[in-house]
Amino acid sequence: MLFFTNILVHRFVNNCTNHVGCGFEFVKALQYVYNAFVCSIVIFFSFYALKWYTGLERQYRLYAKERYPMKNKEIDLIAFMGQSNMAGRGTAEDAPNVPEGTAYEFRAVTDPTRLYPLTEPFGKDENDPEGVFEPGMKTGSMVSAFVNAYFKETHTPVVGVSCAKGGSSITEWIPGTPYYQDALKRVRSGSSWLADHDISIRHRFMVWCQGCTDGDLHTDPDVYKQETASMIRQFLKDCHMETCFLIQIGNHRDDPGLYVPIQNAQMELAKEPHIILVSRQFAAFAARGLMKDEFHYLQEGYNLVGAEAGKNAGLYLNKLSSIIS
């Protein structure tokens, strides 16, 4: 359109210069106005084209940062497993905030297409009807405190995978059971996603807190020890993990001696080369008024245990010597 307009204007200019009635200066002014108009149009559309492109590029960068925040970076992959005190029965609002860029959740069940900033309640929607399924039960956990303390020691971001089921006994976690297979599937899905998106995994490990149900069932401590050790060994092998960080269970609020046999079995488990005991604090919380019912803890208790366990796990992986004996 501008091309044809230009031709018409030039014809007009030529005609005007060939007739006495048209002043040459007027024609020059007209051509100047036309050229200025064309330049304005070009500048106007160029400006908005650049603005559109810049906005589109900014939106893409935000999209990429949201979905692939750790591309070409190194992380540690952690599976948080066990029963209700790992799942968390605290209060999310009282859990510590996790600083941006330090920890993410891979939601293997609900959205295995991206990483989410890790928040509480951790894993609240990760419910698989064929595996770990407890909708509405996860209300606030130790995980946020764990990853904060862990990052402070290691300076390595974490990708966490949730797979904890309240009320589960050790026999429900042995290889081949629905809970074991679900945990295996979640970790493998996370590992594959990270590899597909060029995110390097520095360390892989599990954090395990389970045993209250076995205390309630009076499971033989030797049987508990053998089945737990066997399950952990197999899970580490199946997921190419290095270590299990063990969090010892606490006491039954109204029957302080009920869980002692399982606690002792867990102390024996910690002698295994691939099992590292990182917290024993739960046992002191009944006396400190940090229990919300017979089995579970206030968020303050989860924060304390998570912070201790995360720090000790980080120190261990940094080859420092601050692990609980």
Q: What is the mean pLDDT of the chain?
A: 87
From the list 322, 316, 86, the residue with the least C-alpha distance to 183 is 86
Q: How far apart are CA 127 and CA 109, in angstroms?
A: 7
CA distances to 6, 21, 39 from 26, rounded to whole Å, are: 17, 11, 20
Q: How far apart are CA 100 and CA 292, in angstroms?
A: 30
What is the C-alpha end-to-end distance of the chain, expressed in Å? 84
Same domain, 111 and 239: yes
* Residue 258: per-residue pLDDT: 98
Same domain, 49 and 82: no
pLDDT mean by block of 10 residues, the chain; 325 residues: 49 52 54 64 66 58 54 88 98 98 98 98 98 98 98 97 98 98 98 97 97 98 98 98 98 97 98 97 97 98 98 89 45
Residue 322: inside a domain: no
From the list 236, 204, 223, the residue with the least C-alpha distance to 269 is 223
Q: How far apart are CA 124 and CA 227, in angstroms?
A: 28
Specify the CATH number for the domain of residue 114.
Answer: 3.40.50.1110
**Residue 290 CB: number of other CB atoms within 10 A?**
20
Residue 249: inside a domain: yes
Same domain, 247 and 110: yes
Cα-based angle 38, 39, 45 (whole degrees, multiple of 5): 90
Same domain, 56 and 154: no
Same domain, 299 and 204: yes
The residue among 18, 44, 65 that closes a domain is 65
Residue 114: inside a domain: yes
Same domain, 200 and 308: yes
| pLDDT tens for each residue of 233-255 | 999 999 999 999 999 999 999 99
Same domain, 114 and 209: yes
Same domain, 51 and 148: no
Q: How far apart are CA 138 and CA 156, in angstroms?
A: 26
Region for residue 240 given its phi and psi (left: phi exceeds 0; alpha: psi -120 to 50; beta: otherwise): left
Residue 325: inside a domain: no
Please check whether residue 33 is in contact with residue 51, taking contact to mean a CB–CB distance below 8 angstroms.
Answer: no
* Residue 165: per-residue pLDDT: 98
Please check whether residue 184 is in contact with residue 128, taking contact to mean a CB–CB distance below 8 angstroms.
Answer: no
Same domain, 268 and 189: yes
Strands (E), the chain: 74-82, 103-106, 115-117, 158-164, 200-209, 243-247, 275-279
* Residue 200: per-residue pLDDT: 96
For residue 139, what are its two tokens?
């209300």
Same domain, 18 and 101: no
**Containing domain of residue 277, as a range?**
70-317
Residue 229: inside a domain: yes
Amino acid at 300: E
Distance of CA 85 to the CA centre of its chain: 19
Query: For the chain, what is the radius of gyration of the CA atoms?
Result: 32
The residue among 32, 65, 98 that closes a domain is 65
- If you search the block for the tokens 């120190």, which residue do you land on? 315
The residue among 49, 65, 81 that closes a domain is 65
Residue 137: inside a domain: yes
* Residue 56: per-residue pLDDT: 56
* Residue 270: per-residue pLDDT: 97
3-class DSSP state of 95: coil
Same domain, 39 and 172: no
Q: How many domains does the chain have?
A: 2
Helix (H) or strand (E) holding 273: none
CA distances to 83, 99, 231, 256, 301 from 89, rounded to whole Å, are: 10, 22, 25, 20, 11
For residue 117, what are its two tokens?
């900033």
Same domain, 248 and 134: yes
Residue 207: inside a domain: yes
Residue 324: inside a domain: no
* Residue 323: per-residue pLDDT: 47
* Residue 47: per-residue pLDDT: 62
CA distances to 111, 121, 144, 221 from 98, rounded to whole Å, are: 21, 12, 6, 37
* Residue 43: per-residue pLDDT: 72
DSSP class of residue 94?
Answer: G
